[in-house]
A and B are shown apart, each in its own frame.
Chain A
């Protein structure tokens, strides 16, 4: 049902583009088609923002060339299909690192900009878009817009976080960050409940560049919100530095007949992970790859969710009601026996996201996977939306396959302004869904 050469990462919904075009060289004009266009990077968006059923997908995978890199300043220019993994492989040995990285290195630069992705350093570095110096946009009226925070700034703001709808992003320039070596100093602490999480986060954000927590989404009552808090900094140079790791690793070989994450395995997996260490605190040195990208170690891990795929849910709730709202979200998830093994909590910082439609904003973000079990899953996510809407929060389009048009317009107050920048030749499953009914923000 989801068999397609260009699926989304959640493998739901099914991908059925009318056609796929793969430009071999950086185009200077858009291809002429009579169906809506959408760029497809590396297919790591979870839901339907990278799908374009009955439309034309532009597979950007072969636009993977670097254009320029200055090892003295760390400014890199590349085509939109270059993967963050490609950048790391090139720049880490030269003492540079991505200014912001999401939890997988297998996203394209174009995708990172279109979703204005964030990482564990959001509280100090903001989003990926904060570090984009320049981008080039091809529009269906034949124009080429070179956008920076100062030139065509309104187009820059619409394109960063613009879900690929403002035109075709062909190349970008990114300012990297200096590092001394590929290793990380990692400090891992157990916490027993949400209050401890908030206390740890507040105590860590000043001295640690990277903070994130894994949370046991099956725990309830006194244990609600227990988990592990991970805080880290880049390690000062070691004497000698081994070569960066190869990208190889095991591949999850096939789509399992049923989801491996299900009500039977959910609690044992979470409890085991919570109990994985005796000591309540440990410090160690890790290579950046397992630290930032633990899931990249198993290729196609999404196949473990079975033939119906999975939905990811990531929301942010403002600081004011964060404690209450996160508790209610976790309680509803645990009560439903839903969720998975991969649940993440993080406090966002106050750095302003540059995009009109950027998801990150001050508050607390919760992200977790749900095996797709049909109606009960969708009803639960709708109930979670009620909590997020009441708290004045937002849900992340890059992870979404089901939020309502009404919820979307509440989450993104700049929506009406953004519409003016959407290229009439571009669309996506996501965009058609969240604009299918006309709802004005209240």
Chain B
């Protein structure tokens, strides 16, 4: 039985992943900003077989709230062995390009606060000598593109941070799992026209569950995004700059 902390548990992808853990009888500690939604999700996960489910309202942007929340999770579950960081915002690129404060806010949520959280978790897991740290990044972090480079660059920073964390924690026996979803049909992308590249949250949740179970270092979900991003990152600038990507 895993003892899992999910930060940003009201995200659709996190919820689908949590259902897999619940069906395996794992214990869960969920955080999110909306208490009613946390409660509804917790009730659902209990019915689906979770050993225990505890919740705490927290805004991950508030860095000072991280350590007390992790203490509470450890107390509620009798320790932790798995963490999934699932929150994030998809900022409006136009607004971020126009306003430095908007760009910094996007970075704060998608990069800075995650770095703060993972640093604390990493130190705890390194001390206990085991555990799995997973965070949802994005294929957008593989190459900065005009259409969403503020979000993409925050995720790129997270990718490099997690690469280094994985390197550091290798000796301690702690797994670090970077999840790079492509486009997923969730409220985050509600305003997008859905093409064939969009994946269902169920599919992505299943992939994340498997990646955490196996300790996969970098998980593209769905898997075909690895190929797409290999091509996009390999495009010479002379061609890349002429695309609308």
A203 to chain B minimum Cβ distance, whole angstroms, is 41
Q: Which residue of B is nearest A65, CB measured?
A: B44
Chain B residues with CB below 8 A from A68, complex form: 43, 47
> In the complex, A298 Cα to B227 Cα: how many Å?
30
Q: CB of A26 within 8 A of chain B?
A: yes
Chain B residues with CB below 8 A from A67, complex form: 40, 43-44, 47
> In the complex, A328 Cα to B40 Cα: how many Å?
53
Chain A residues with CB below 8 A from B48, complex form: 66, 90
Chain A residues with CB below 8 A from B43, complex form: 65-68
Pair B47/A90 contact, Cβ less than 8 Å: yes
Chain B residues with CB below 8 A from A5, complex form: 194
Q: CB of A29 within 8 A of chain B?
A: no
Q: CB of B190 within 8 A of chain A?
A: yes
Pair B34/A66 contact, Cβ less than 8 Å: no
Pair B47/A25 contact, Cβ less than 8 Å: no
Known: A67-B47, A68-B47, A69-B47. Contact between A25 and B190, CB under 8 A? Answer: no
Pair B190/A65 contact, Cβ less than 8 Å: no
Chain A residues with CB below 8 A from B47, complex form: 66-69, 76, 90
New contact pairs (10) apart from A66-B48, A67-B47, CB-CB < 8 Å:
A24-B37, A25-B34, A65-B41, A65-B43, A68-B43, A69-B47, A76-B47, A79-B40, A90-B47, A90-B48
A181 to chain B minimum Cβ distance, whole angstroms, is 19
Within B25-49, which residues are at the interface with A (CB < 8 Å)?
A: 34, 36-37, 40-41, 43-44, 47-48
Q: Which residue of A is nearest B42, CB measured?
A: A65
Q: CB of B132 within 8 A of chain A?
A: no
Range class of the A interface residue count: 10 to 19
A329 to chain B minimum Cβ distance, whole angstroms, is 41
Q: Which residue of B is nearest A5, CB measured?
A: B194
For A65, A66, A79, the residue with the greatest tally of chain B CB atoms inside 10 Å of its CB is A65
Which residues does B use to contact A, with CB under 8 Å? 12, 34, 36-37, 40-41, 43-44, 47-48, 187, 190, 194
Q: Which residue of B is nearest A70, CB measured?
A: B47
Chain B residues with CB below 8 A from A22, complex form: 187, 190
> In the complex, A385 Cα to B190 Cα: how many Å?
43
A27 to chain B minimum Cβ distance, whole angstroms, is 10
> In the complex, A378 Cα to B245 Cα: how many Å?
49
Chain A residues with CB below 8 A from B190, complex form: 22
User: What are 20 inter-chain pairs, A to B, with CB distance below 8 A?
Assistant: A22-B187, A24-B37, A24-B187, A25-B34, A25-B36, A25-B40, A26-B40, A62-B12, A65-B41, A65-B43, A66-B43, A66-B47, A67-B40, A67-B43, A67-B44, A68-B47, A69-B47, A79-B40, A90-B47, A90-B48
Known: A25-B34, A25-B36, A25-B37. Contact between A66 and B187, CB under 8 A? Answer: no
